[in-house]
Amino acid sequence: MSARLRPALLGLGLIVLLALPLVAGKFGLDLASRIMIMAIFAMSLDLLVGYAGMVSLGHAAFFGIGAYGLYLLSPAYGAANLFLSLPASVAASAIAAFVVGLLVLRSSGVYFIMVTLAFGEMFYYYATGARWLGGSDGAYIYQRPAAGPVDLGQGHTFYYLLLIALAASYALLHVILRAPFGHALRGIRGNEHRMRSLGFATPRYRLLAFVIAGALAGLAGYFDAAQFGVVNPELFGWRLSGGVLMMVILGGMGTLDGAIMGAAALVLLENFLGDLTTHWLLPMGLFIVAAVLLLPQGLTDPAALWRAVRERRHV
């Protein structure tokens, strides 16, 4: 996407999202909320995959911790305190990412993929058997969190808080990626050995990226639990980890806009295909294969489709 077009499209998207409650009904707003939650989640993974070159297949673990954080901090028949449960859930995800990161970041490449997958599954199986977490059936959250006048169960408050969280996550990632930290992450992705040889203590950079990504995944998970009022072990599982990785790849790795577009594309597709047929996974798979073949740079680079068609013709 051209440098001039990007801010314009971002602004347009923000205006559309701001105005959406004026025109859309409950279904539309729920769908938009779902997209925003997955967009935060996908951006957090893109920090690892697209910028730092760490392909994690266990990123849902931190999403799940954020979600279960809300469950654990919600009283049985009341609303959790928003200002307490939100930061606490995000912090829990960040701490978990720190501990897991200390262990998994010793590996890289294919081993990193396998080790992160294994950690995600550990959380999944633990939650399945843990009675205090509701076991394999999961548990319900009967009221959305609230604090004083801010009640996520009222009107469009949830939607707008989510929009703020999305914008804030985007802004935070944009800032750190532009900072020396982000430049160093890209260098680590390009050639970690050379980065060390220049004097970068690369393990610290990778760990901090892992913690930031884990915290934002926890934020997304918190909102997921708030939206649906239910948590279950699937929130830790590899299906979700794989799904969000698909969003990142589909949108184009290494672009925050791409992560958002990938999230929107997959959530919408899942929704509409799911309405059309019970075998929606088949057309979904075909779409993903087509997208990866025709748009190798992701949805943010639609011009690639045109280039591909032209090259075919010349062959």
Partner 1 sequence: MSEPILRAERLGRNFGGLAAVRDVSLDLPPNQIHAVIGPNGAGKTTLINLLSGDLSPTTGRVFFRGVEIEGHALDRIARLGVARAYQRTNIFAGFSVFENCRLAAQARRLPGMRLFRPALAYRDINDAADRAMALAGIEPRAASRAADLSHGEQRQLELAMALATEPQVLLLDEPLAGMGPEEASRIAALIARLGADHAILLVEHDMDAVFNIAATVTVMVDGAVLASGAPEAIRADRAVQAAYLGEAA
Told to check if 202 binds partner 1 by CB under 8 A, we report yes
Smaller CB distance to partner 1: residue 19 or 175?
175
Told to check if 98 binds partner 1 by CB under 8 A, we report no
Min dist. Cβ of residue 296 to partner 1 (A): 15
Told to check if 199 binds partner 1 by CB under 8 A, we report yes
Told to check if 89 binds partner 1 by CB under 8 A, we report no
Binding segment for partner 1 (CB under 8 A), chosen from 89-97, 140-148, 172-180, 296-304, is 172-180
Among positions 131, 132, 149, 197, the unique one binding partner 1 when judged by CB under 8 A: 197
Task: Judge whether 185 and 195 are in contact, CB under 8 Å.
Answer: no
Min dist. Cβ of residue 196 to partner 1 (A): 4
Binding segment for partner 1 (CB under 8 A), chosen from 41-49, 148-156, 199-207, 293-301, is 199-207
Among positions 175, 286, 289, 292, the unique one binding partner 1 when judged by CB under 8 A: 175
Encoding tokens for residue 120?
A: 């995600």
Q: How many helices (H) and strands (E) does the chain have?
A: 12, 4
Among positions 106, 204, 239, 307, the unique one binding partner 1 when judged by CB under 8 A: 204
Task: Report the alpha-carbon distance of residue 166 to residue 173 in Å, rounded.
Answer: 11
Smaller CB distance to partner 1: residue 270 or 301?
301
Strands in 109-170 per DSSP E: 139-140, 146-147, 150-151
Identify residue 216 by its one-letter amino acid code: L
Told to check if 191 binds partner 1 by CB under 8 A, we report yes
Q: What is the DSSP string of 90-103?
A: HHHHHHHHHHHHHH
Min dist. Cβ of residue 179 to partner 1 (A): 5
Min dist. Cβ of residue 268 to partner 1 (A): 32
Encoding tokens for residue 260?
A: 């958002």
Task: Report the alpha-carbon distance of residue 242 to residue 118 in Å, rounded.
Answer: 13
Among positions 181, 228, 280, 287, the unique one binding partner 1 when judged by CB under 8 A: 181
- Which residues, in sequence order, are CB contacts of 81 under 8 Å at separation 6+? 73, 145, 146, 147
Told to check if 184 binds partner 1 by CB under 8 A, we report yes
- Which residues, in sequence order, are CB contacts of 33 under 8 Å at separation 6+? 158, 159, 162, 223, 227
Told to check if 193 binds partner 1 by CB under 8 A, we report yes
Instruction: Tell which residue, 4, 39, 43, 313, has the closest CA to residue 173.
Output: 43
Q: Is residue 297 classed as helix, strand or coil in its secondary structure?
A: coil
φ/ψ of residue 34, rounded to 5:
-60, -45
Kindly identify the residues of this chain, within the stretch 207-246, that bind partner 1 according to CB under 8 A.
Answer: 208
- Which residues, in sequence order, are CB contacts of 100 under 8 Å at separation 6+? 58, 61, 119, 210, 214
Told to check if 171 binds partner 1 by CB under 8 A, we report no
Told to check if 178 binds partner 1 by CB under 8 A, we report yes
Report the interface residues with partner 1, using CB under 8 A: 175-176, 178-184, 186-187, 190-191, 193-202, 204-205, 208
